[in-house]
Amino acid sequence: MNSSTAVRNLGIGLTITGFVLLLGYALYNLFTLESSLILKMSIGAIVAGIVLVLLALIKEKMSVEDKEIERRY
């Protein structure tokens, strides 16, 4: 693994970690503060839908084999 791959993986990891922490904080505040039940349910459904779509896309991407011919220079 070269250094550019390591830096890219580190950047992706930090981005995902930050996004998950921010989303967790927002959901914690949403469900602990006084707000309408409809608002809580609708935001929860939106977040659950986005997570399901992302997981389906990741699963599909991982299951499909890359058909491009490996080129050696």
Q: Can you give the residue range of the structural domain that contains 56? A: 34-64
31 token code pair: 């469900």
73 lies in some domain: no
Considering the entire predicted model, what is its pTM? 0.55
Looking at the 3D structure of the chain, how many domains does it have? 2
| Model confidence pLDDT, tens digit, residues 3-31 | 778 888 888 889 889 988 988 888 888 77
Q: What backbone torsions phi and psi does residue 34 show, to the nearest 5 degrees?
A: -70, 115
Q: How far is CA 10 from CA 19, 25, 49, in A?
A: 14, 22, 27
Q: Are residues 18 and 28 part of one domain?
A: yes
Report the pLDDT value the prediction gives residue 66, as an integer from 0 to 100: 65
Q: Which ranges of 1-73 would DSSP assign to H, the alpha helix?
A: 3-32, 37-63
